[in-house]
């Protein structure tokens, strides 16, 4: 992976399956009591492969880990390992499923260098999305109706601009962000906190199935892993790690979304937040990010696209959403009266599908307003 893939690309990446022997080593390393990801990576830096780790002597292991960890590594493989390897190999052979180990050449480069990078990635759907330029969109589970609308429309505008939308498949803002991403060519990636063979929460079952078909679902957890509480904050580092930046749409003062924002800052990623009313509880977290943590205040998708360099005139694959000439043409075509997108498309002599994304960008920029029935009207300013 030598470059970011644009939304218009159609890559044909020759993913290679993980062998049974290699898989057994990776799973055994994950399952070893007392050996976390930090220790695992230290061992891999020294011994390169899990097989070599388990073949090392105690003295060599003690140069990298504590005595209790070395003793655990020298124990026989757990009894359940063989069954898990067989189940994972069978899962890997199913259409649309892919397993990537940390040493695999197609492991996402954006993740390879984050702290405590996953040893294994279980992927369902379009794995090539992991190589594209992306933005994480996160926020409250108990989001307001306006927050859900903002998240979906913002995600769709960003997806129309070629960014893949990354989120965590939770209720509220996450689900809205995934939906918006699916409605544009950038699509979406869902990073989940369970095994890739589980869907959580159940209310997002239909959305998860659509993402598996049109986007991509990613997990670092072994098959069968239930929705354990501690796994969801941990998966946030993968959400921010895959993306160029993180947008927080709504968040209370103490919110899991702020964990993702903090991780993004530690990873050197861009941080964005949408402000809200000073009286709204779900705006407190966003205001804190803007006031104290260097998040950039966002009022439209154009704010993010400009900051990420995707509105630079002439950049390949990055056509501006809000080109001045285009804005003038649309506003002139709207005139003083509401109009339907199909009628505007005729007036502008372009496809209705292309115009929909452009109208969304204009709406987010506060230049037009969507009316009941799908009509649009020009806003005076």
Maximum distance among all Cα pairs of the chain, rounded to whole angstroms: 80
CATH of the domain at 34: 1.10.150
Between CA 111 and CA 116, with CA 112 as vertex, the angle to 5 degrees is: 80
231 shares a domain with 288:
yes
Q: How far is 9 from 163, CA to CA, in rounded Å?
A: 12
Q: Which of 307, 334, 369 is the last residue of a domain?
A: 307
355 shares a domain with 222:
no
Question: Would you state the pLDDT for residue 55?
Answer: 96
328 shares a domain with 301:
no
CB-based contacts of 279-282 (< 8 A; 24+ apart in sequence): 280/144, 281/252, 281/253, 282/140, 282/142, 282/143, 282/144, 282/147, 282/250, 282/251, 282/252
Phi/psi for 21 (5° steps) reads -65, -45
Selection from 141, 149, 203, 205 nearest residue 174 by Cα: 141
* b/e sequence 179-204, b meaning 16+ C-beta within 10 Å: bbbbbbebbbbbbbbbbbbbbbeeeb
Question: Would you state the pLDDT for residue 34?
Answer: 95
Residue 110 lies in a domain: no
Tokens, residue 334: 């709207």
Share of the chain above pLDDT 90, in %: 68
Residue 312 lies in a domain: no
| Three-class DSSP category at 189 | strand
| pTM of this prediction exceeds 0.85 | no
CATH of the domain at 159: 3.40.50.450
Question: Would you state the pLDDT for residue 5?
Answer: 35
Please state which of the ranges 120-134, 195-209, 300-314 shows the lowest mean pLDDT. Answer: 300-314
Question: Would you state the pLDDT for residue 202?
Answer: 95
Residue 113 lies in a domain: no
pLDDT digit string (tens) for 138-148? Answer: 999 999 999 99
pLDDT digit string (tens) for 53-62? Answer: 999 999 999 9
Residue 115 lies in a domain: no
Residue 9 lies in a domain: no
238 shares a domain with 143:
yes
| Position 320 confidence tier, pLDDT thresholds 50, 70, 90 | very low
Please state which of the ranges 116-120, 260-264, 305-309 shows the lowest mean pLDDT. Answer: 305-309
Selection from 242, 197, 186, 110 nearest residue 360 by Cα: 186
34 shares a domain with 141:
no
Instruction: Compute the chain's Rg from CA coordinates.
Output: 23
User: Helix, strand, coil shares of the chain as percentages rounded to 5?
Assistant: 45, 15, 40
Q: Which of 85, 108, 140 is the last residue of a domain?
A: 85
Residue 14 above 70 pLDDT? no
Of 52-61, 308-317, 368-377, the range with the highest mean pLDDT is: 52-61
Q: What is the mean pLDDT of the chain?
A: 88
Tell me which residue range forms the domain holding 30. 16-85
351 shares a domain with 294:
no
Tokens, residue 62: 């003690």
157 shares a domain with 80:
no
269 shares a domain with 137:
yes
Question: Would you state the pLDDT for residue 357?
Answer: 67
Q: 221 pairs with which residues across the strands?
A: 195
Residue 1 lies in a domain: no
242 shares a domain with 141:
yes
Q: 136 pairs with which residues across the strands?
A: 166, 246
Which is more confidently placed, 85 or 278?
A: 85
Question: Would you state the pLDDT for residue 315?
Answer: 38
Let me know: does 140 contact 226? Beta carbons within 8 Å: no
357 shares a domain with 287:
no
pLDDT digit string (tens) for 75-105? Answer: 999 999 999 999 999 999 999 999 999 999 9
pLDDT digit string (tens) for 235-248? Answer: 999 999 999 999 99
Residue with tokens 């259409």: 95
291 shares a domain with 239:
yes
| Position 323 confidence tier, pLDDT thresholds 50, 70, 90 | low
Residue 228 lies in a domain: yes
Residue 142 lies in a domain: yes
Count of the separate structural domains present in the chain? 3
Q: Which of 256, 274, 307 is the last residue of a domain?
A: 307
303 shares a domain with 332:
no
Q: Within 10 A of 8 (CB to CB), how many other CB atoms are there?
A: 9
Question: Would you state the pLDDT for residue 330?
Answer: 85
Residue 107 above 70 pLDDT? yes
CATH of the domain at 368: 1.10.10.10
Question: Would you state the pLDDT for residue 302?
Answer: 87
Let me know: does 213 contact 136? Beta carbons within 8 Å: no
């Amino acid at each position: 992976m030598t470059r970011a893939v644009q939304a218009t690309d159609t890559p044909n990446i020759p993913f290679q399956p993980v062998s049974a022997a290699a898989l057994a080593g990776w799973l055994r390393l994950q399952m070893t009591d007392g050996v976390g990801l930090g220790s695992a990576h230290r061992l891999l830096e020294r011994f390169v492969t899990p097989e070599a780790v388990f073949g090392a002597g105690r003295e060599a292991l003690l140069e990298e880990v504590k005595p209790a960890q070395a003793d655990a590594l020298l124990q026989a493989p757990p009894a359940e390992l063989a069954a898990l390897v067989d189940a994972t190999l069978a899962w890997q052979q199913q259409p649309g499923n892919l397993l990537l180990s940390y040493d695999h050449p197609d492991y996402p480069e954006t993740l390879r260098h984050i702290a405590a990078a996953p040893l294994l990635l279980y992927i369902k759907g379009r794995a090539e999305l992991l190589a594209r330029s992306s933005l994480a969109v996160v926020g409250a589970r108990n989001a307001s109706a306006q927050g859900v609308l903002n998240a979906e429309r913002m995600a769709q505008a960003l997806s129309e601009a070629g960014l893949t939308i990354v989120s965590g498949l939770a209720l509220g803002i996450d689900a809205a962000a995934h939906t918006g991403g699916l409605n544009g060519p950038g699509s979406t990636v869902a990073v989940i906190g369970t095994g890739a063979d589980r869907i959580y929460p159940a209310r997002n079952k239909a959305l998860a199935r659509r993402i598996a078909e049109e986007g991509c679902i990613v997990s670092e957890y072994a098959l069968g892993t239930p929705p354990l509480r501690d796994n969801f904050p941990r998966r946030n580092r993968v959400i921010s790690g895959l993306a160029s930046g993180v947008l927080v749409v709504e968040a209370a003062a103490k919110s899991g979304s702020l964990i993702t924002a903090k991780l993004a800052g530690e990873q050197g990623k861009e941080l964005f937040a949408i402000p809200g009313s000073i009286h709204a509880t779900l705006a407190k977290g966003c205001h804190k990010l803007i006031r104290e943590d260097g998040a950039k205040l966002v009022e439209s998708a154009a704010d993010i696209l400009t900051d990420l360099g995707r509105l630079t005139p002439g950049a390949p694959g990055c056509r501006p959403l809000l080109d001045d000439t285009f804005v003038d043409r649309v506003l002139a075509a709207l005139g003083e009266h509401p109009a339907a997108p199909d009628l505007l498309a005729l007036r502008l002599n372009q496809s209705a599908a292309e115009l929909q994304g452009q109208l969304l960008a204009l709406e987010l920029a506060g230049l037009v307003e969507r009316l009941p029935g799908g009509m649009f009207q020009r806003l005076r300013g």
